[in-house]
Amino acid sequence: MILPFAMILDAVLGEPDWLWSRVKHPAVVIGNAIAALDVRFNNGPLRRAKGIALIVALVAVALVVGRVIAWIPDFGLLEIIFAAILLAQRSLVDHVRAVADALRRSLPDGRAAVAMIVGRDTAAMDTPRVSRAAIESAAENLSDGVIAPAFWFAIGGLPAMLAYKVVSTADSMIGYRTKRYEAFGWGAARLDDVLNWVPARLTALLILATHFALYHWHRVPNDARQHRSPNAGWPEAAIAPLLDLSLAGPRSYDGQMTDFQWVNPMGRKDAGPDDIDRACGVLWRTWFGALLLAVVIDMLPLLLAGLAAVFLF
């Protein structure tokens, strides 16, 4: 029951400031290591090969560290703590809800709040754009920060979960199609796409299943393909019809407007803080569905053993 307990611990405590103001969060440690390796190796020839070697080495280290932690004979307590640290349900909801609260104070406050969770330009956003950006971030990070790490824990325990976190962090730091990172970050970006392929689709399924809205599923694949990302479009395509909103669409990066396609183009575009609150409700309901699924997976061997005992004896 390590994963269910970790999910509950994360949901209750989130990211306590009293702890992470005193010690470095594992994500910060990972990020600092990637930044140092970026400075050291992202230069000269063979940048793609160097980037691939870097991500392979980081994954190998993560697997070893995860295995050592899991090996410590403490009845799984350290695994629960580390797994909870690598999940982000409570902090995700807190950051997204903060955008709604800020918008209710003023538009400039809303822009400042959403700038903390998205990478696009926010200075000229109106209230609907701020709200849609927050909801898109909520959907994407539900997959990347909650469902995907939980999925990889279910597949390979803490080592697989830690390896996923390393790849995800590397992708967020060096996985860009820019002159500096297009070659060096190629390996991290492609591996991140692979590791998120199943979780992104599972997230979309959980969003609709927990809201008894699987009748929307037939629209999700086509809407997801309108997104620039092979994975991020899936949770967005699932949450958009629940909220009757259009998501994605045109946005500005580094001062340049990009004409991305709309996800759920027939939905409303006049999103507001109330829609952000509704999205937070979707996050919690989906999390609860994932928690129940984790409990079932953990208890499955016992259930199968009980059934076998009934039929054999």
| Residue 249: predicted pLDDT | 86
Please state the φ and ψ torsions of residue 23, each to the nearest 5 degrees. -130, 160
User: Does pLDDT of 303 surpass 80?
Assistant: no
| Residue 261: predicted pLDDT | 87
129 falls in which pLDDT band (50, 70, 90)?
A: very high
Stretch 30-53: mean pLDDT, rounded? 94
Distance CA 228, CA 177 (A): 12
Contact criterion met (CB below 8 Å) for 231 and 221: no
Which residue, 88, 63, 84, 83, is CA-closest to 167?
A: 63
Q: CA 269, 274, 279, 284: dihedral to nearest 10 degrees?
A: -170
| Residue 119: predicted pLDDT | 84
